Amino acid sequence: MENFTWDAVPSQRQRKTEKYNYPVMTMAALSKPGAGRKFSFNKAAQDLMNIEGEDRISFGFSADRTIIAIRKAEGDTGFKLTKTCTFSDKKIFEFISKTLELSNDAENEFKILDGDGFYKLELMENAISNDEVEEVLEAEQEVVADTIGNVDYPEVEEATSIELDTPNSGVESQW
């Protein structure tokens, strides 16, 4: 009787499980027009960057825009994180999306690599948008339809009657 919950409903909340065990920053997919441009940091990223809820972070971009960097900000600079280490900013979101030619219909995930006083963001190539999934499914359906529609079967002659060669019968049998 010690493993029972009495006089209350057991907790039905499921614990959040981390998708990655290494540092990752995620740019959320835009699921509908007007949706917030949300950035989030997983637990490993928070540990690496030594950030926690309500700290501040800032972004840096190389002159040729090939490197996107991030660091913990000091004072009032940068972007203030929520208690769950997320933040939203339309300008940064759209700048990164445009610069890297990202699809906003998909989650875009960045591996956070330790740099020299800052952290480099490296795009992970695992994001696929809902439109891309639909395109793949449609292409597969076309292949299946084409395969089914163009199957070549050897011609088979239909046997409608068999002649029995029996002595004295001379009768044709129908099957």
Q: What is the pTM of this model?
A: 0.62
User: What angle (nearest 5°) sits at the alpha carbon of residue 30, between those of residues 25 and 34?
Assistant: 125
Give yes or no for a contact between 172 and 160, defined as CB atoms under 8 angstroms apart.
no
Q: How many CA atoms are closer than 13 Å to the CA of 165, on its beta-carbon side?
A: 0
R_g of the chain computed on alpha carbons = 32
User: What angle (nearest 5°) sits at the alpha carbon of residue 119, between those of residues 116 and 125?
Assistant: 135
Q: Is 115 exposed, middle or buried (0-12, 13-18, 19+ CB in 10 A)?
A: middle
pLDDT at position 130: 45
Residue with tokens 């129908």: 174
pLDDT at position 129: 46
Give Cα 175 distance to the centre of its chain. 60
Give yes or no for a contact between 37 and 93, defined as CB atoms under 8 angstroms apart.
yes
Terminal CA-CA length for the chain? 75
pLDDT at position 16: 72
The parts of the chain modelled with pLDDT lower than 70 are: 1, 126-175
pLDDT at position 127: 47
pLDDT at position 50: 93
- Count of residues for the chain? 175
